[in-house]
Amino acid sequence: MYIHCAGHSLNLVISSCCGLPEIQNMISKVKEACIFFNYSPKRNGFLSAVIKDQYPENARKKPLITLCTTRWAERSEAYEHFYESFEYVVYVLEVMAHNLHHDDCPAQFYGCWNTATKRDASGLLQAITNFEFVVTFVIGYLYLSHMSALT
């Protein structure tokens, strides 16, 4: 008889619990945000510059980490980065999508975004500031942060 190790069993339990549509939607939006910033040096540089300006003691930390596709417990680090960078992500998306925060935005990043980036930033901003997303994300983040010690 084959029995999975405890870490693999925990991953299987977490993955079966994440079958709820709200959880799946939250995970897909976090992935989308990570891809939006990490696959563009200009967008990632803007986010890093905002974090460095407003949170200098954490400037060397990477703002967003792509979610691990196989290990659910490993996602806690990615969720922690997203949680800590959330207000800066929203700030950057507001600048990109709606040209807000003109007074305190770095000049090289203000008003220089193409139409596709503005559209994507607006959709992402609307998705991650939705009440359902925020509540689901915080609950998921809190649960996974406790499980990281187990794995």
108 pLDDT band, cuts 50/70/90, is low
Q: Which helix (H) or strand (E) holds 47?
A: helix 41-54
The predicted structure's pLDDT at residue 50: 84
Residue with tokens 């079958």: 19
Burial class, 123, CB count within 10 angstroms (exposed 0-12 / middle 13-18 / buried 19+): middle
pLDDT, the chain, mean: 80
95 pLDDT band, cuts 50/70/90, is confident
- When comparing pLDDT for 44 and 8, which is higher? 44
What is the dihedral sign for C-alpha 91, 92, 95, 97?
Answer: negative
> Does 151 score more than 60 pLDDT?
no
Query: Could you please report the per-residue DSSP string of 7-19?
Result: HHHHHHHHHHHTT
Q: How many CB atoms lie within 10 A of CB 137?
A: 22
The predicted structure's pLDDT at residue 19: 74
> In this structure, what is the dihedral angle of CA atoms 67, 109, 88, 132, given to the nearest 10 degrees?
-70
* Cα 12 from Cα 14, distance rounded (Å): 5
The pTM score is 0.80
The predicted structure's pLDDT at residue 147: 67
> Does 69 score more than 70 pLDDT?
no
CB 36 within 8 A of CB 43: yes
Residue with tokens 């949170």: 55
> Does 54 score more than 70 pLDDT?
yes
Structure tokens at 46: 């803007």
23 pLDDT band, cuts 50/70/90, is confident
The predicted structure's pLDDT at residue 129: 95
